[in-house]
Amino acid sequence: MKDKTIKTIKFFGLSFLEPLLRALSGEETQKNLASFIKKTLFPIASIFLFILVWHLGATALFNKEAEARIEKAKTEQGEEAAKAMADCIASGDVSCQPNTLPSPQQVYQAYIALWKDHLQISEKKSDFKEKVADTNAQREEQGLSPITYTGRPSFLDQIGTSLKTVAAGFLLALFIAVPIGIIIGLSDVLRNSFNWLIQILKPVSPVVWLLLVFMIVKTVITDPNMDKSFIISFISVGLCAMWATLVNTSLGVATVDKDYINVSKVLKLSIGKQIFKIILPASFPLIFTGLRITVSVAWMVLIAIELLAQSPGLGSFVWEEFQNGASDSNAKIIVAMFVIGIIGFLLDRIMLTVQNFMTFSKA
């Protein structure tokens, strides 16, 4: 039972809980507790250290900016104004707050505000749905498309959109890179012929991919009803992120253990069986490593691409907040930063789990 639990938590990448579990179950309590403290409590302590440093840094920056403002008021408008400015800053009035790195509390407040905003918008949305339910039913009978809510998306909606885009981009990368990787992996000639192209395209920046995709999509898709910005951003994400999978797949396929190939030859497997029963399973470890890199690259470039493509999502959220310049905009950007980081981490963990599940360990 205990061993099974430990196996399960390890499988999900939570192995840091193992010593605690062992200690709780009375197994070498002291040793395991010590190990738990070292492996788990210290990392937690480091979070507090991080917040402390951040807090100190933010305070220092705040003071510097505040002094600069007071100084400026003094030189431009005199003593009086400087004093008013100092009072204003001390009172916490939003109109005169220094605009700098937000402190941890501010970020936490921004997080709460975003959450409340989300609840509000969801409520509005469901109200709207109720209101138009009858009309939509009628419209459906007449064969018209339903009326949908077109209000401002909440932060959570933006996260959802981003995840959708990254998923679409990932699938695109998967369906392009894996088959091509297999084909060029199987043939030395093809691999050598296209290697230059892959090597050149691999380091191209997401921005350039975006522009390239934009040029093509603009011409190809003329239907105004189609969500062009979504299409552009997911294709760009896919194209940016697919290279790791392409290279790894072709490498994996090209370097299948000779023993396995000999087995397939001795058994006279057909080409199809040889690919699906021997070559693919043998290259799964490398393919999944590639896919894992693809997911993290996709998530990383997504933000930049959304930001540039003006397509909804976390990227445009960050950009809008930056341009908006409201008193809590900076704090919201930091919230977005953490959300992006945590989601990226979770995506990686999911891929790692899938990878562990799909790959054999060599005998």
Partner 1 sequence: MPILELKNVNKSYGTGTSKVDVLRNINLSVEEGEFVAIVGFSGSGKTTLINMINGLQFPDKGQVLLHGNPVNGPGPDRGVIFQNYSLLPWLSVFKNIKLSVDEAFPNLSKQEKEKHINKYIKMVNLSHATHKYPKELSGGMRQRVSVARALAMNPEILLMDEPLSALDALTRGTLQEEIIKIWSKDKKTAILITNDVDEGILMADRIIPLTPGPKATLGPEFKIDFKRPRDITEINKDPHYKRLRNDILEYLIEVGATRKQTSDQKYLLPDLKPVMPGRVFFGRKKKNEKVKYF
Provide the binding-site residues for partner 1, judged by CB under 8 A: 259-260, 262-263, 265-269, 277-278, 281-282, 284, 360-363
The tokens 């693809």 sit on which residue? 294
Q: Which two tokens stand for residue 4?
A: 């099974």
Whether residue 165 contacts residue 313, with contact meaning beta carbons closer than 8 Å, is answered with: yes
Structure tokens at 74: 């003094």
Q: State the minimum distance, in angstroms, from the CB of residue 267 to partner 1.
A: 5
CA 253 – CA 183 distance, rounded (Å): 9
CB 269 within 8 A of CB 212: no
Provide the token pair at 163.
Answer: 């995840």
> Which of residues 56 and 271 has its CB atom nearest to partner 1 in the complex?
271
Tally Cβ neighbours within 10 Å of residue 353.
Answer: 13
DSSP state of 17: G
When the beta carbons of 209 and 288 are compared against partner 1, the nearer one is 288
Nearest distance in Å: CB 184, partner 1: 23
- Both tokens of 102, joined, read 């937000």
Nearer to partner 1, 94 or 266 (CB): 266
DSSP of 168-198: HHHHHHHHHHHHHHHHHHH-HHHHHHHHHHH
Kindly state the smallest distance separating residue 281's Cβ from partner 1, in Å.
4
Least gap, CB of 189 to partner 1 (angstroms): 20
Shortest distance in whole angstroms from residue 265 CB to partner 1: 5
CA dihedral over 228, 233, 238, 240, signed as positive or negative: positive
Of 4 and 362, nearer to partner 1 (C-beta) is: 362
Smallest distance, partner 1 to C-beta of residue 229, A? 42
* Identity of the residue, 120 or 270, whose beta carbon is nearer to partner 1 in the bound complex: 270
The Cα 138–Cα 124 span in angstroms is: 22
Nearest CB to partner 1, comparing residues 152 and 362 = 362
Please say which residue, 115 or 260, places its beta carbon nearer to partner 1. Answer: 260
At its nearest, how many Å lie between partner 1 and the CB of residue 289? Answer: 16
How many C-alpha atoms does 362 have within 13 Å on its Cβ side? 9
The CA distance from 254 to 140, in Å, is 54
Query: What DSSP designation does 215 have?
Result: H
